[in-house]
Protein backbone atom coordinates (compact mmCIF):
# COMPACT_ATOMS: atom_id res chain seq x y z
CA UNK A 1 0.00 0.00 0.00
CA UNK A 2 1.00 3.56 -0.52
CA UNK A 3 4.01 2.65 -2.61
CA UNK A 4 5.23 5.96 -3.96
CA UNK A 5 5.19 6.48 -7.70
CA UNK A 6 8.72 6.06 -9.02
CA UNK A 7 8.48 9.32 -10.96
CA UNK A 8 7.00 11.34 -8.10
CA UNK A 9 10.37 12.36 -6.71
CA UNK A 10 11.52 13.95 -9.95
CA UNK A 11 8.28 15.83 -10.77
CA UNK A 12 8.30 19.58 -10.17
CA UNK A 13 6.69 20.42 -6.84
CA UNK A 14 3.29 22.10 -6.83
CA UNK A 15 3.51 25.81 -6.11
CA UNK A 16 0.93 28.27 -4.87
CA UNK A 17 0.91 31.88 -3.84
CA UNK A 18 -0.09 35.46 -4.41
CA UNK A 19 0.89 38.03 -7.00
CA UNK A 20 -0.18 41.59 -7.55
CA UNK A 21 0.21 44.00 -10.41
CA UNK A 22 1.20 47.58 -9.76
CA UNK A 23 1.64 50.46 -12.13
CA UNK A 24 0.31 53.83 -13.07
CA UNK A 25 -3.42 54.26 -13.63
CA UNK A 26 -4.40 52.80 -16.99
CA UNK A 27 -1.24 50.70 -17.21
CA UNK A 28 -3.35 47.65 -18.06
CA UNK A 29 -3.34 45.82 -14.72
CA UNK A 30 -7.00 44.81 -14.70
CA UNK A 31 -6.95 43.72 -18.33
CA UNK A 32 -3.89 41.59 -17.68
CA UNK A 33 -5.50 40.01 -14.63
CA UNK A 34 -8.52 39.09 -16.75
CA UNK A 35 -6.35 37.71 -19.53
CA UNK A 36 -4.41 35.51 -17.10
CA UNK A 37 -7.53 34.21 -15.41
CA UNK A 38 -9.39 33.93 -18.69
CA UNK A 39 -12.64 35.48 -17.56
CA UNK A 40 -13.86 38.88 -16.56
CA UNK A 41 -13.24 39.29 -12.84
CA UNK A 42 -11.49 42.61 -12.48
CA UNK A 43 -13.12 45.77 -13.67
CA UNK A 44 -11.48 47.51 -16.60
CA UNK A 45 -12.18 50.97 -17.84
CA UNK A 46 -10.35 53.54 -19.88
CA UNK A 47 -10.66 55.95 -16.97
CA UNK A 48 -7.82 56.02 -14.45
CA UNK A 49 -8.15 54.69 -10.93
CA UNK A 50 -11.37 52.82 -11.21
CA UNK A 51 -10.17 49.75 -9.35
CA UNK A 52 -11.08 50.16 -5.70
CA UNK A 53 -11.41 46.65 -4.43
CA UNK A 54 -8.77 43.96 -4.21
CA UNK A 55 -10.43 41.61 -6.65
CA UNK A 56 -8.57 38.33 -6.78
CA UNK A 57 -8.38 36.28 -9.90
CA UNK A 58 -7.15 32.71 -9.59
CA UNK A 59 -5.06 30.98 -12.24
CA UNK A 60 -5.40 27.20 -11.94
CA UNK A 61 -2.69 25.06 -13.49
CA UNK A 62 -1.70 21.43 -12.96
CA UNK A 63 1.62 22.56 -11.47
CA UNK A 64 0.54 25.70 -9.64
CA UNK A 65 -2.13 28.00 -8.38
CA UNK A 66 -1.52 31.70 -8.80
CA UNK A 67 -3.79 34.07 -6.90
CA UNK A 68 -3.84 37.55 -8.37
CA UNK A 69 -4.63 40.50 -6.16
CA UNK A 70 -5.65 43.56 -8.09
CA UNK A 71 -4.79 46.71 -6.15
CA UNK A 72 -5.84 50.30 -6.75
CA UNK A 73 -3.28 52.59 -8.32
CA UNK A 74 -0.80 54.29 -6.00
CA UNK A 75 -1.22 58.03 -6.26
CA UNK A 76 -0.63 61.30 -4.49
CA UNK A 77 -3.18 61.29 -1.66
CA UNK A 78 -5.38 64.35 -1.65
CA UNK A 79 -8.30 62.98 0.30
CA UNK A 80 -8.87 60.48 3.07
CA UNK A 81 -9.92 57.98 0.42
CA UNK A 82 -6.62 58.54 -1.39
CA UNK A 83 -4.67 57.83 1.79
CA UNK A 84 -6.63 54.66 2.48
CA UNK A 85 -6.10 53.44 -1.07
CA UNK A 86 -2.33 53.91 -0.74
CA UNK A 87 -2.34 52.02 2.57
CA UNK A 88 -4.15 49.16 0.87
CA UNK A 89 -1.51 49.12 -1.86
CA UNK A 90 1.44 49.02 0.54
CA UNK A 91 -0.13 46.35 2.74
CA UNK A 92 -0.72 44.23 -0.33
CA UNK A 93 2.87 44.56 -1.54
CA UNK A 94 4.24 43.30 1.75
CA UNK A 95 1.97 40.26 1.71
CA UNK A 96 2.33 38.88 -1.80
CA UNK A 97 4.94 36.45 -3.15
CA UNK A 98 5.68 38.36 -6.34
CA UNK A 99 4.93 41.83 -7.68
CA UNK A 100 4.43 42.58 -11.37
CA UNK A 101 5.21 46.19 -12.25
CA UNK A 102 3.16 47.10 -15.36
CA UNK A 103 4.64 49.65 -17.73
CA UNK A 104 2.71 50.34 -20.93
CA UNK A 105 4.82 49.97 -24.07
CA UNK A 106 3.17 52.94 -25.73
CA UNK A 107 4.18 55.38 -23.02
CA UNK A 108 7.61 56.58 -21.99
CA UNK A 109 8.80 55.75 -18.49
CA UNK A 110 7.94 58.88 -16.53
CA UNK A 111 7.88 60.48 -13.06
CA UNK A 112 4.81 58.41 -12.10
CA UNK A 113 6.71 55.19 -12.79
CA UNK A 114 9.76 56.44 -10.89
CA UNK A 115 7.56 57.27 -7.90
CA UNK A 116 6.20 53.72 -7.85
CA UNK A 117 9.66 52.20 -8.44
CA UNK A 118 11.07 54.10 -5.46
CA UNK A 119 8.28 52.83 -3.22
CA UNK A 120 8.64 49.30 -4.61
CA UNK A 121 12.37 49.25 -3.95
CA UNK A 122 11.58 49.47 -0.24
CA UNK A 123 9.70 46.18 -0.36
CA UNK A 124 12.98 44.30 -0.30
CA UNK A 125 12.12 40.64 -0.04
CA UNK A 126 9.37 40.33 -2.64
CA UNK A 127 10.61 39.44 -6.15
CA UNK A 128 9.61 41.98 -8.79
CA UNK A 129 8.86 41.30 -12.43
CA UNK A 130 8.71 44.17 -14.91
CA UNK A 131 5.77 43.63 -17.27
CA UNK A 132 5.81 45.76 -20.40
CA UNK A 133 2.11 45.86 -21.29
CA UNK A 134 0.16 46.78 -24.46
CA UNK A 135 2.92 45.60 -26.80
CA UNK A 136 0.36 45.60 -29.63
CA UNK A 137 0.52 49.41 -29.50
CA UNK A 138 4.29 49.65 -30.00
CA UNK A 139 6.52 48.96 -32.99
CA UNK A 140 9.83 47.17 -32.74
CA UNK A 141 11.88 50.32 -32.29
CA UNK A 142 9.63 51.62 -29.52
CA UNK A 143 9.76 48.20 -27.81
CA UNK A 144 13.56 48.19 -27.78
CA UNK A 145 13.58 51.69 -26.36
CA UNK A 146 11.10 50.71 -23.67
CA UNK A 147 12.96 47.56 -22.64
CA UNK A 148 16.15 49.58 -22.21
CA UNK A 149 14.26 52.26 -20.23
CA UNK A 150 12.72 49.65 -17.94
CA UNK A 151 16.09 48.04 -17.29
CA UNK A 152 17.47 51.49 -16.50
CA UNK A 153 14.53 52.29 -14.22
CA UNK A 154 15.31 49.19 -12.15
CA UNK A 155 18.93 50.16 -11.83
CA UNK A 156 18.15 53.75 -10.81
CA UNK A 157 15.63 52.70 -8.18
CA UNK A 158 17.72 49.83 -6.85
CA UNK A 159 15.39 47.07 -8.00
CA UNK A 160 16.75 43.88 -9.49
CA UNK A 161 14.03 42.67 -11.86
CA UNK A 162 13.49 38.92 -11.58
CA UNK A 163 12.30 39.11 -15.20
CA UNK A 164 11.36 41.69 -17.80
CA UNK A 165 8.41 40.40 -19.85
CA UNK A 166 6.61 42.09 -22.75
CA UNK A 167 2.91 41.14 -23.04
CA UNK A 168 -0.27 42.15 -24.78
CA UNK A 169 -3.36 41.22 -22.82
CA UNK A 170 -5.60 42.41 -25.67
CA UNK A 171 -3.79 40.45 -28.40
CA UNK A 172 -3.20 37.55 -26.00
CA UNK A 173 0.53 37.63 -26.66
CA UNK A 174 2.95 36.21 -24.08
CA UNK A 175 0.27 36.03 -21.39
CA UNK A 176 0.98 32.32 -20.93
CA UNK A 177 4.70 33.02 -20.80
CA UNK A 178 4.16 35.56 -18.04
CA UNK A 179 2.33 32.90 -16.00
CA UNK A 180 5.22 30.48 -16.68
CA UNK A 181 7.68 33.03 -15.33
CA UNK A 182 5.61 33.97 -12.28
CA UNK A 183 4.99 30.39 -11.12
CA UNK A 184 8.63 29.53 -10.23
CA UNK A 185 8.68 32.61 -7.98
CA UNK A 186 5.89 31.16 -5.81
CA UNK A 187 6.58 29.02 -2.75
CA UNK A 188 5.95 25.29 -2.85
CA UNK A 189 2.54 24.37 -1.53
CA UNK A 190 -0.85 22.82 -2.24
CA UNK A 191 -3.66 24.76 -3.98
CA UNK A 192 -5.09 27.48 -1.72
CA UNK A 193 -8.54 27.54 -3.32
CA UNK A 194 -10.84 24.84 -4.69
CA UNK A 195 -10.39 24.15 -8.39
CA UNK A 196 -12.80 26.17 -10.49
CA UNK A 197 -12.94 29.16 -8.17
CA UNK A 198 -12.00 32.24 -10.15
CA UNK A 199 -12.29 34.76 -7.37
CA UNK A 200 -13.23 34.84 -3.70
CA UNK A 201 -14.49 38.39 -3.87
CA UNK A 202 -17.98 38.45 -2.41
CA UNK A 203 -20.58 38.48 -5.15
CA UNK A 204 -22.11 41.70 -3.93
CA UNK A 205 -18.83 43.57 -4.28
CA UNK A 206 -18.35 42.30 -7.81
CA UNK A 207 -21.90 43.28 -8.69
CA UNK A 208 -21.39 46.75 -7.21
CA UNK A 209 -18.25 47.07 -9.34
CA UNK A 210 -20.12 46.08 -12.49
CA UNK A 211 -22.71 48.77 -11.80
CA UNK A 212 -20.01 51.34 -11.09
CA UNK A 213 -18.23 50.44 -14.29
CA UNK A 214 -21.43 50.91 -16.31
CA UNK A 215 -22.11 54.22 -14.57
CA UNK A 216 -18.62 55.54 -15.33
CA UNK A 217 -18.85 55.01 -19.04
CA UNK A 218 -19.02 58.29 -20.93
CA UNK A 219 -19.17 60.62 -17.93
CA UNK A 220 -16.98 63.59 -17.38
CA UNK A 221 -13.47 63.29 -16.07
CA UNK A 222 -14.09 64.52 -12.55
CA UNK A 223 -16.97 62.21 -11.81
CA UNK A 224 -15.27 58.77 -11.42
CA UNK A 225 -13.94 59.51 -7.97
CA UNK A 226 -17.34 60.69 -6.83
CA UNK A 227 -19.24 57.48 -7.55
CA UNK A 228 -19.63 54.61 -5.12
CA UNK A 229 -22.07 51.72 -5.43
CA UNK A 230 -23.43 49.57 -2.63
CA UNK A 231 -25.57 46.49 -3.20
CA UNK A 232 -28.07 46.67 -0.36
CA UNK A 233 -29.94 43.43 -0.92
CA UNK A 234 -30.07 40.41 -3.19
CA UNK A 235 -33.11 38.15 -2.89
CA UNK A 236 -34.69 35.53 -5.16
CA UNK A 237 -38.17 36.75 -6.20
CA UNK A 238 -40.89 34.79 -4.46
CA UNK A 239 -43.62 32.88 -6.28
CA UNK A 240 -41.53 32.19 -9.37
CA UNK A 241 -41.70 28.83 -11.13
CA UNK A 242 -38.53 26.79 -10.55
CA UNK A 243 -37.57 26.97 -14.23
CA UNK A 244 -37.97 30.78 -14.39
CA UNK A 245 -36.16 32.22 -11.37
CA UNK A 246 -35.57 35.94 -10.94
CA UNK A 247 -33.09 37.60 -8.62
CA UNK A 248 -33.95 41.02 -7.22
CA UNK A 249 -30.86 43.19 -6.78
CA UNK A 250 -31.29 46.47 -4.92
CA UNK A 251 -28.39 48.87 -5.26
CA UNK A 252 -27.62 52.47 -4.42
CA UNK A 253 -25.35 54.62 -6.50
CA UNK A 254 -23.82 57.34 -4.34
CA UNK A 255 -22.63 60.66 -5.63
CA UNK A 256 -21.08 63.51 -3.66
CA UNK A 257 -23.11 66.54 -4.69
CA UNK A 258 -26.69 67.13 -5.79
CA UNK A 259 -25.33 68.82 -8.93
CA UNK A 260 -23.94 65.47 -10.09
CA UNK A 261 -27.34 63.86 -10.07
CA UNK A 262 -28.29 65.24 -13.46
CA UNK A 263 -25.14 63.86 -15.08
CA UNK A 264 -25.74 60.37 -13.74
CA UNK A 265 -29.47 60.26 -14.39
CA UNK A 266 -29.46 62.05 -17.76
CA UNK A 267 -32.35 63.69 -19.61
CA UNK A 268 -35.64 62.03 -18.66
CA UNK A 269 -33.67 59.42 -16.73
CA UNK A 270 -32.45 57.82 -19.94
CA UNK A 271 -28.80 57.59 -18.93
CA UNK A 272 -29.53 55.82 -15.66
CA UNK A 273 -31.82 53.47 -17.52
CA UNK A 274 -29.05 52.58 -19.96
CA UNK A 275 -26.58 52.12 -17.10
CA UNK A 276 -29.08 49.79 -15.39
CA UNK A 277 -29.64 47.74 -18.54
CA UNK A 278 -25.96 47.39 -19.24
CA UNK A 279 -25.11 46.48 -15.64
CA UNK A 280 -28.01 44.01 -15.45
CA UNK A 281 -26.77 42.13 -18.50
CA UNK A 282 -23.30 41.84 -16.98
CA UNK A 283 -24.69 40.70 -13.63
CA UNK A 284 -26.82 38.09 -15.38
CA UNK A 285 -23.76 36.84 -17.25
CA UNK A 286 -21.79 36.68 -14.00
CA UNK A 287 -24.45 34.85 -11.97
CA UNK A 288 -26.09 32.90 -14.78
CA UNK A 289 -29.59 33.87 -13.69
CA UNK A 290 -32.13 36.52 -14.78
CA UNK A 291 -31.92 39.64 -12.65
CA UNK A 292 -34.19 42.56 -11.84
CA UNK A 293 -31.94 45.49 -10.99
CA UNK A 294 -33.43 48.22 -8.84
CA UNK A 295 -30.96 51.11 -8.96
CA UNK A 296 -31.26 54.35 -6.99
CA UNK A 297 -29.10 57.46 -7.04
CA UNK A 298 -28.35 59.01 -3.66
CA UNK A 299 -26.29 61.94 -2.53
CA UNK A 300 -23.76 61.18 0.23
CA UNK A 301 -22.27 64.59 0.75
CA UNK A 302 -18.45 64.65 0.46
CA UNK A 303 -18.25 60.94 1.20
CA UNK A 304 -14.58 60.80 0.25
CA UNK A 305 -13.69 63.03 3.19
CA UNK A 306 -15.96 61.53 5.80
CA UNK A 307 -14.63 58.45 7.70
CA UNK A 308 -18.12 57.35 8.73
CA UNK A 309 -19.42 57.44 5.17
CA UNK A 310 -16.30 55.71 3.87
CA UNK A 311 -16.92 52.81 6.25
CA UNK A 312 -20.55 52.59 5.21
CA UNK A 313 -19.55 52.51 1.56
CA UNK A 314 -17.14 49.68 2.22
CA UNK A 315 -13.76 51.41 2.30
N1 LIG B 1 -4.20 47.98 -27.01
C2 LIG B 1 -4.18 47.51 -25.76
N3 LIG B 1 -4.90 48.14 -24.82
C4 LIG B 1 -4.88 47.66 -23.57
C5 LIG B 1 -4.12 46.50 -23.21
N6 LIG B 1 -4.29 46.28 -21.89
C7 LIG B 1 -5.13 47.24 -21.45
N8 LIG B 1 -5.49 48.08 -22.44
C9 LIG B 1 -6.40 49.24 -22.36
O10 LIG B 1 -5.87 50.21 -21.47
C11 LIG B 1 -6.91 50.79 -20.67
C12 LIG B 1 -6.61 50.62 -19.19
O13 LIG B 1 -6.59 49.24 -18.87
P14 LIG B 1 -6.92 48.71 -17.41
O15 LIG B 1 -6.66 47.24 -17.42
O16 LIG B 1 -8.24 49.18 -16.93
O17 LIG B 1 -5.78 49.47 -16.59
P18 LIG B 1 -5.50 49.47 -15.03
O19 LIG B 1 -4.03 49.54 -14.87
O20 LIG B 1 -6.17 48.31 -14.37
O21 LIG B 1 -6.16 50.82 -14.61
P22 LIG B 1 -6.60 51.37 -13.17
O23 LIG B 1 -7.71 50.50 -12.69
O24 LIG B 1 -7.03 52.74 -13.49
O25 LIG B 1 -5.39 51.34 -12.29
C26 LIG B 1 -8.20 50.13 -21.12
O27 LIG B 1 -8.83 50.97 -22.05
C28 LIG B 1 -7.73 48.83 -21.75
O29 LIG B 1 -8.60 48.37 -22.74
C30 LIG B 1 -3.37 45.84 -24.26
O31 LIG B 1 -2.68 44.84 -24.07
N32 LIG B 1 -3.43 46.41 -25.50
Q: Same structural domain for residues 263 and 224? A: yes
Q: Is the dihedral of CA 146, 150, 151, 152 positive or negative?
A: positive
What is the 190 CA–ligand 1 centroid distance (Å)? Answer: 32
Among 124, 154, 185, the domain-final residue is 185
Q: How far is the CA of 299 from the centre of ligand 1 (A)?
A: 30
Same domain, 177 and 218: no
For every residue of 216-246, DSSP letters joined together read: HTT--TTSGGG-EEEEEEEEEPTT--TTS--
- Tell me how far the alpha carbon of residue 301 lies from the centroid of ligand 1, in angstroms: 31
**Are 295 and 178 within one domain?**
no
Give the helix ranges, DSSP H, for the chain.
29-37, 80-95, 111-121, 140-157, 175-182, 203-216, 261-265, 270-287, 307-312
- What is the average per-residue pLDDT within 154-167? 97
Residue pair 231/249 in contact by the 8 Å Cβ criterion: yes
pLDDT, tens only, 274-294: 999 999 999 888 888 899 999
d(CA 28, CA 31): 5
- Pocket of ligand 1 contains residue 112 by CB under 6 Å: no
Identify whether residues 215 and 176 lie together within a single domain.
no
- CATH number of the domain that 229 lies in? 3.30.300.20
Q: What angle do CA 251, 252, 258 make, to 5 degrees?
A: 160
Q: How far apart (Å, rounded) are the C-alpha atoms in residues 84 and 96?
A: 19
d(CA 108, CA 22): 16
**Averaged pLDDT for residues 182-194:** 88
Q: What value does the mean pLDDT take over residues 4-29? A: 77
Q: How far is CA 223 from CA 20, 50, 58, in A?
A: 27, 11, 31
CA of 51, closest atom in ligand 1: 23
pLDDT beyond 70 at 40: no
Domain count, the chain: 2
Same domain, 144 and 211: no
pLDDT in tens, 289-300: 899 999 999 888
Do 99 and 221 lie in one domain? The reply is: no
Query: Which of these three, 151, 185, 219, is where a domain ends?
Result: 185
Query: Would 194 be classed as within a structural domain?
Result: no
From 129, 158, 185, the end of a domain falls on: 185
Q: How far is the CA of 78 from the centre of ligand 1 (A)?
A: 24
Q: What residues pair up with 68 in beta bridges, in sequence order? A: 19, 57
Q: Is the pTM of this model over 0.80?
A: no
Per the domain annotation, does 2 fall within a domain?
no
Instruction: Report the mean per-residue pLDDT for the chain.
Output: 82
pLDDT category of residue 198 using cuts at 50, 70 and 90: low
Are 71 and 178 within one domain? yes
What pLDDT is recorded for position 75? 65
Question: pLDDT band at residue 49, thresholds of 50, 70 and 90?
Answer: very low
Q: With bands split at pLDDT 50, 70 and 90, how would you rate the model's confidence at 9? A: very low
Q: Answer yes or no: do 160 and 250 share one domain.
A: no
Verify that 234 and 293 share a domain, yes or no.
yes
Q: Could you count the other beta carbons within 10 Å of the beta carbon of residue 67?
A: 23
The verdict on the CB of residue 282 being under 6 Å from ligand 1 is: no
191 within domain boundaries? no
| Sequence-ordered strand ranges (E) for 1-138 | 15-22, 55-60, 64-70, 98-104, 128-133
Among the listed residues 152, 52, 38, 141, the one whose alpha carbon sits nearest the alpha carbon of residue 103:
152
Domain range for 114: 8-185
Q: Report pLDDT digits (tens) over 94-115.
A: 888 999 999 999 999 999 899 8
Q: Give the ipTM.
A: 0.98
Range picked from 8-12, 151-155, 237-241, 283-287 for highest mean pLDDT: 151-155
Q: Is residue 193 situated within a structural domain? A: no
User: Are 70 and 22 spatial neighbours (Cβ–Cβ below 8 Å)?
Assistant: no
Task: List the single range of 19-23, 45-49, 269-273 with lowest mean pLDDT.
Answer: 45-49
Ligand 1 pocket residue status of 199, Cβ below 6 Å: no
The pLDDT assigned to 55 comes to 47
Q: What is the pLDDT averaged over residues 19-33?
A: 89
| CATH code: domain of residue 156 | 3.40.50.300
In the prediction, which pLDDT does 125 show? 87
Atom 26 of ligand 1, residue of closest alpha carbon: 46
Query: Looking at the domain assignment, is residue 294 inside a domain?
Result: yes
> Is residue 190, in this structure, part of any structural domain at all?
no
Percent of the chain at pLDDT > 90 equals 39
CB 184 less than 6 A from any atom of ligand 1: no
Return the closest-CA partner of residue 89 out of 103, 104, 77: 77
Are 176 and 216 part of one and the same domain?
no
Q: Is the pLDDT reported for residue 236 higher than 80?
A: yes
Residue 119 to residue 114: CA distance in whole angstroms? 9
The span from the CA of 26 to the CA of 49, in Å, is 7
Amino acid sequence: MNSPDATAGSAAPHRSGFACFVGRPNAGKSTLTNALVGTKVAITSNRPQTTRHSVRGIVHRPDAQLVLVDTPGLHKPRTLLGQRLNDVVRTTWAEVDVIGFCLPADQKVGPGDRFIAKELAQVKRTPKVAVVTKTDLADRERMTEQLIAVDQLGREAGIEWAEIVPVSAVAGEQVGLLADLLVPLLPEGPPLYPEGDLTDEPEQVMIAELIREAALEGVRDELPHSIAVVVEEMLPREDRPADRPLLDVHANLFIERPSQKGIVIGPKGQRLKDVGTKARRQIEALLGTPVFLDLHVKVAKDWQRDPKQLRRLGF
